[in-house]
Structure 1
Amino acid sequence: MPVLASAIDFLVTVGYFLIALGVLVFVHELGHFLVAKRAGIRVERFSLGYPPKMVGFEWGETEYCISWVPFGGYVKVAGMADVGEEAATGAPWEFPSKSVGVRMAVIAAGPLMNFLFAFAVFVVVYGAWGLDTWGSTVVAPQDDSVAQVAGLIRGDQVLEVDGEAIANDYELLKALEAHPELGAVLTVQRGDGKRQIELPAAVETGYGISILLPTKIGSVDPGTPAEGVGLQRGDVITAVEGTAVSSWSDMRELISARPAESIALAWQRDGIEMTSAIVPEERVSQDERIGVIGIRPFEAGSIDIGWWKATSLGAVSVYTSSYLILEFIGGIFENSRYKELGGPIRIARMADDTAQMGLKYFLRFLALLSVNLGVLNLLPIPVLDGGHLTFLTLEAILRRPPSVRQREVSQQIGLVIILFIMVAVTFNDLNQFVFHHIAELFQ
């Protein structure tokens, strides 16, 4: 029975992975397809997956098919052949016959569609489920901030702002941001008593108030030390290396200070005290070595924000996600962050984990993955969309296309780069999810 259960779990994980990948590949290729058709370019094939073909049918001038190799897809347009294949004939419906601007639009449409899809999904998630709230109104003033000078201290719980009751962090932030030019009066719980804190106007600097999150775990990242010691959603961390913790920031600070060192961790689960030794993974953040164990804070609920606010937050989420991805890529070799790269195994685990958590989390995962796909495809690497856009830009500047030899060499270089990345992410996946567990068996 354990073998059967493991086999079923594996198939379910693969199923969620194929759903996620299939949706995003379809969206990406649909962008290329629609713009090519709009531009009068003949589309010969629309394929989910790479050859050999599994099933398909022809409709009009296009063959639509699903192929056996699931890691991607492609749209084959007339005249856009790989080096060594049959060249274009000069027909008006062929890709090379169109202007540089039209060709750039066809190439850019794939990544753009990924960004638009992510935006739409974020809007649906925020509009239908609202904005996650941590449920905390316990605060801490930043050093030398307006709030600290006014008398706010760490651990104060905000009950009211200007006489209006505050129930969660979202309401607190919204109230503080409402009119910083007028200041605010906070009613806080401190110990057994209540007191009022008068905050002066702080338009330029802000009040300098941080919200302290509880140490309740919302999710555990797959393949991390936290998963290895059995931490679960809903567990409450109570101590790190013998030091009691009451806020997420305190806990994170203690764990961050001990990268790659064994530390004692204590937590509660359904009122039962549990302990374990854990070794935080070493990461580099802003040129500093830190330890992480792979846990995220617990969301206490959600706030209905309306569809208009959901639309603006959807745009912000796409922008923020794109920025963080580019920042990560920029620091891969400088800070040895290549160890954090993940491939198909990690994506499959995350697809399964988020699907088990609920539709909201799976959709949010799809949106983030779609942004990843859009950003990565725009990198100026030959064979990727970004590489094609780079050559088209050069063609527009030089007023001539690259030679066959130049295309051939660039594609070979691009393939080597892509192969190197695939090997690296696959090794990271195997190291986290396979080699690590094999090593544990022999300990």
Structure 2
Amino acid sequence: METLIMVGQLLLGLSILVGLHELGHLLTAKMFGMRVEKFSIGFPPKIAGFQWGETEYSIGAIPLGGFVKISGMVDESMDTAQLAAEPQPWEFRAKPAWQRLIVMLGGIIVNVVTGIIIFVVLVYNNGETYFSRDQIIENGIVAYEYGEAIGFKTGDKVLDINGETYQGLNDLSSGSALLSENGYYTVDRNGEQLKIEIPRGFINTFNSEESFDKFIEIRFPFEVGVVDKGSAAEAAGIQTGDKIVAVNGTPINYFDEMQSVLQGVKSQTAQIVRQAETGTDTLSIPVSDEARIGIAVKPLIEPTRREYAIGEALAKGTNRAFTVVIVNAKAMGKMFTGEVSAKNVSGPIGMAKIYGASWDWVKFWSITGLISMILAFMNLLPIPALDGGHVMFLLYEMVSGRAPSDKFLENAQKVGMVILLALMVFAIGNDILKLFN
């Protein structure tokens, strides 16, 4: 069932984005009087379709893209038979270069607008929930494996990133921070300010959602939330709302401190000082092999909740959408220098895993908005067979006054298709390798 949910979300998200992208091409082409022969979400073989006017609308069996076939255009169909005849007024090749340019940018523009709308609506409807910089400075952070590897220590208070203030906890592991040149964190450690450098290529560490759990987290004071039935804690009399203030003589202020002490007394009996409404007492409680006493804790700090008016949401959502593009552009640039590993490239399996095994509409639209912006960016790359390749040749035509020959465009399209197929095979190969790692 979990696999079906992941696949279902991926197919729905891609169908929406591909459909809107191709609709952008279709509408701009028809606006300039071009004949659109086919509109397809998914690649052949066709599994369903209908004819409306001059255009056949269909759904393909391979749901990893889509296409619009415009008369008189060299595209991925490689149908060049009609190019031997004289251009007809309704054909792509018969129209001025500026009109053809708008048609090729139509899908990209729609994806950008879609991404912005999604992020603006999410920000307006849901606001933001995060542990703020002030809360991090007040309580400090817990450093896990990856955090300790670059120099963080539990209790550090993160003051800034690259000398600039930040909003909340997620900013500390954002792509903008991890991809920055000569990046660093400034921390307060026991009253002394230190600089923790972000190592070159550190972003490669974060190749899965689980890896973020191994970086850093906010430190939090706590009280007993739920006491497990039949547990050692219940037998000792611990109740919901109690506070644990010491374990084996070690004062406890934060949850991580209790975890650390209990790890050292696994399979032993711990002396736990409990603060309850009736007073403070000391209890002898057996600790399990997993360093547990049978309680779930309730954090005593709440994330900051911020809501936005429509104007603020418009600015915030737009900024968030274009930040996705900027981060991906930086990552691609660093991939060519070797700083970012090409193993981070994901295909459909990786995208499905990002959506996750539970259906959460906020997460679904967040990821769909992110993918919409990435699709716009990737389609703008100057690779033949992508929209960006067509844009590149059209700009050459507009500047030089000479259009590339149909034969050149046909060969360029073939090269582009080979490049895209190779990238797809590489991405799917990465996905498969990650399944076994």
- With the shorter chain as reference, the TM-score category is 0.5 to 0.7
Partners of 1:20 and 1:366 within 8 A in 2? yes
Of 80, 96, 106, 1:85 maps to: 80
In the other structure, the counterpart of 1:76 is 69
Report SS of the residue matched to 1:138.
Answer: helix
In the other structure, the counterpart of 2:418 is 416
**Alignment partner of 1:326 is 2:323:** no
Opposite residue 350 of structure 2, the aligned amino acid is: R
The residue correspondences of 1:189-228 to structure 2 (distance < 5 A) are 223=208, 226=211
In the other structure, the counterpart of 1:110 is 107
What is the alpha-carbon distance in structure 2 between the residues aligned to residue 299 and residue 71 of structure 1?
Answer: 41
Q: Offset of 1:403 from its aligned partner? A: 1.9
Opposite residue 339 of structure 1, the aligned amino acid is: K
Q: How many residues align?
A: 310
**Alignment partner of 1:122 is 2:124:** no
In the other structure, the counterpart of 1:62 is 55
The residue correspondences of 1:113-152 to structure 2 (distance < 5 A) are 113-134=110-131, 137-138=134-135, 140=137
What is the alpha-carbon distance in structure 1 between the residues aligned to residue 255 and residue 382 of structure 2?
Answer: 43
In the other structure, the counterpart of 1:382 is 384
The residue correspondences of 1:186-335 to structure 2 (distance < 5 A) are 223=208, 226=211, 271=295, 300=303, 302-334=305-337, 335=339
In the other structure, the counterpart of 2:6 is 13
Q: Offset of 1:223 from its aligned partner? A: 4.8
Report SS of the residue matched to 1:361.
Answer: helix
RMSD: 4.0
- Describe the superposition over 1:334-390 as per-residue Cα deviations: whole angstroms up to 9, x where unpaired: 12421111111010111235x53x222211111100000000000000000000001
Report SS of the residue matched to 2:41.
Answer: strand
- Over 3 Å counting, the alpha-carbon distance change for 1:64 and 1:302 in structure 2 is farther
- Over 3 Å counting, the alpha-carbon distance change for 1:97 and 1:137 in structure 2 is same
Report SS of the residue matched to 1:333.
Answer: helix
Which is further off, 323-332 or 395-404? 395-404
- Over 3 Å counting, the alpha-carbon distance change for 1:15 and 1:154 in structure 2 is closer
What is the alpha-carbon distance in structure 1 between the residues aligned to residue 47 and residue 28 of structure 2?
Answer: 26
Of 402, 405, 411, 2:404 maps to: 402
In the other structure, the counterpart of 2:287 is none
Opposite residue 350 of structure 1, the aligned amino acid is: I
Opposite residue 348 of structure 2, the aligned amino acid is: P
- Over 3 Å counting, the alpha-carbon distance change for 1:431 and 1:235 in structure 2 is farther
What is the alpha-carbon distance in structure 2 between the residues aligned to residue 268 and residue 136 of structure 1?
Answer: 31
Opposite residue 368 of structure 1, the aligned amino acid is: L
So what's the TM-score if we normalise by structure 1? 0.62
The residue correspondences of 1:329-408 to structure 2 (distance < 5 A) are 329-334=332-337, 335-353=339-357, 356=359, 358-408=360-410
Instruction: Give unpaired runs (5+ residues) of structure 1.
Output: 1-7, 142-152, 158-167, 171-190, 192-207, 211-220, 239-243, 249-265, 274-297, 437-443
What is the alpha-carbon distance in structure 2 between the residues aligned to residue 64 and residue 236 of structure 1?
Answer: 55
Partners of 2:47 and 2:58 within 8 A in 1? yes
Of 31, 34, 40, 1:41 maps to: 34
Partners of 2:219 and 2:254 within 8 A in 1? no
So what's the TM-score if we normalise by structure 2? 0.63
In the other structure, the counterpart of 2:247 is none
Q: Offset of 1:59 from its aligned partner? A: 1.2
Partners of 2:335 and 2:341 within 8 A in 1? yes
Partners of 2:34 and 2:91 within 8 A in 1? yes
What is the alpha-carbon distance in structure 1 between the residues aligned to residue 220 and residue 291 of structure 2?
Answer: 4
Opposite residue 40 of structure 2, the aligned amino acid is: S
In the other structure, the counterpart of 2:147 is none
- Over 3 Å counting, the alpha-carbon distance change for 1:84 and 1:364 in structure 2 is closer
Q: Which ranges of 4 or more aligned residues in structure 1 deviate by more than 4 Å? A: 153-157, 221-227, 234-238, 244-248, 266-273
Opposite residue 342 of structure 2, the aligned amino acid is: Y
Larger Rg over CA atoms: 2
Report SS of the residue matched to 1:87.
Answer: helix
Bigger RCO (CA 8 Å, 6+ sep): 2
What is the alpha-carbon distance in structure 1 between the residues aligned to residue 42 and residue 90 of structure 2?
Answer: 25
